[in-house]
Amino acid sequence: MGSTAEEFLVASEQKAFELDHRRIINNNIGKYNNSFEKGLSRMINLDNSKKKGHAIKWKVMENLDKFLPEFESNFQKRGGKVIWANDADEANREILNIITKAGAKTIIKSKSMATEEIHLNEFLEKNNIESLESDLGEYIVQLLGQKPYHIVTPAMHLSKEDIAKLFNEKFGTPLDSTPEQLTQKARELLREKYLQADVGITGANFIIADTGSIAITENEGNARLTTTFPKIQITIVGIEKLIPSMTDLDLFWPMLSTHGTGQNLTVYNTILSGPRQPNETDGPEEMYVVLLDNGRTNLLAQKDQRQGLYCIRCGACLNACPIYQNIGGHTYDTTYSGPIGSIITPHMRGMEEFKHLSYASSLCGKCTEVCPVKIDIHKMLLLNRRDAVNEGLVTTKEKWGWAIWKKGMLKRSLTDFFGGKMKNYLMKKIFKKSWGHYKEMPEVSEKSFSQMWKEGNRPE
């Protein structure tokens, strides 16, 4: 088995030339782009909103040690319980303790990237506990035994024909079923599971310090059902999802929905502030919030790159990225893919193993342009590259390669010496093997621009 970087390069090349994959992704991202542009057109003073969001998240990250205890205190006042988890193992153990203590055997889940990050489903399965995804996209990829392809739309890589074939194999539905019929079938299968589940597990889009609440945004209603029927609710959320006040939602909810799906507002927006109170008719008897670090404080310690924690997980940078559009979400082999994943993963999971993701970029800057909280993403990619070099994590071959390139670029005679003939020779004999699998190598002019200028062959 090669290194993570080597596997990434092999998978990237394979996926980039998979024409059916490209067709499906271009089609789905094309639909998103149309909705996104319409959504943005409805917003007044978009740049102002982005600056405000950036400022609020800056305030939170600079004062995380004050806001997190404030959330904990306010949540506990209403009977909720807070668990602090340093890493994935600790989070999984604590969740298992709650489930075991309650004698629970079945779990219903709503969409949560934090649970994907800690591999909760696999952990529970090893402990003989059934955990079922209720978000339609998550449910589909769970049936396929895959990970989510995208942080907002987990099944973006599948066509309606792929899903119809899956449902035909699993449930015997007709192969020509429409998306509406497939959704109806999933609804029939899942509704009973909400009633039977012992525990409901969710993520949270935001956690609110001044009220001790969690805010969940969704389009299907599955999170509401997950938090309503089971007697125990567990929410797993990264510590960076904090916002200071309930009033901040008037900014973040529309920005999240517009940049995530192009909607003015998502269909279901829920605020939960603890377990069922004596005067309430539904909701869980017990409610836990697991505050997950799992490498986030490593990123917080990087003064130049900590703004990666401002992310509200809208997925806009993934949809805008030409690299993501060609190599797809699974190739990154991380929970958080695309540009945002490339800047946060090296700090959360180790620079040595994941530094290559920061090089998987054209640096076109589109990711920075679309970010709703003005994260300077392409600058962060460059800073990660800098850190990898400063920490001595580049190979000897790479060091020598750049040293030779620098020497040649700084001296005209050397640049001309390695002229067109030499470059064409190197292209055919050396780089053809690594770069020329699916395409013809380019022909370089035999004379440099400098030489042609001296000879009087000046362009008109």
The average pLDDT across 126-141 equals 96
Query: pTM of the entire structure?
Result: 0.91
Instruction: State the pLDDT at residue 93.
Output: 98
Q: How far apart are the first and last CA of the chain?
A: 54
Identify the residue with better confidence: 453 or 65.
65
One-letter-per-residue 3-state SS of 116-144: HHCCHHHHHHHCCCEEEECCHHHHHHHHH
- Map residue 208 onto helix, strand or coil: strand
Instruction: State the pLDDT at residue 1.
Output: 40
Instruction: State the pLDDT at residue 459.
Output: 55
pLDDT, tens digit (0-9, with 9 covering 90-100), for 77-132? 999 999 999 999 999 999 999 999 999 999 999 999 999 999 999 999 999 999 99
Return the minimum-mean-pLDDT range out of 108-112, 151-155, 279-283.
Answer: 279-283
pLDDT, tens digit (0-9, with 9 covering 90-100), for 8-45? 988 998 999 899 999 999 999 999 999 999 999 999 99
Confidence of residue 2 (pLDDT cuts 50, 70, 90): low
Confidence of residue 356 (pLDDT cuts 50, 70, 90): very high
Domains of the chain (ranges, CATH numbers) = 43-294 (3.40.50.10420), 396-454 (no CATH)
Nearest to 372 by CA among 216, 257, 270, 248: 257
Instruction: State the pLDDT at residue 142.
Output: 96
Instruction: State the pLDDT at residue 271.
Output: 97
Strand pairing class (242-243; 206-208): parallel
Between CA 219 and CA 182 the distance in angstroms is 17
Distances 34 to 27, 29, 90, 223 between C-alpha atoms, Å: 11, 9, 42, 27
pLDDT, tens digit (0-9, with 9 covering 90-100), for 226-258? 999 999 999 999 999 999 999 999 999 999 999
pLDDT, tens digit (0-9, with 9 covering 90-100), for 363-379? 999 999 999 999 999 99
Confidence of residue 451 (pLDDT cuts 50, 70, 90): confident
E strands, 206-354, in order: 206-208, 213-218, 232-238, 242-243, 268-272, 286-292
Cα dihedral sign, 320-323-328-332: negative
Instruction: State the pLDDT at residue 396.
Output: 86
Instruction: State the pLDDT at residue 209.
Output: 98
Between CA 217 and CA 203 the distance in angstroms is 10
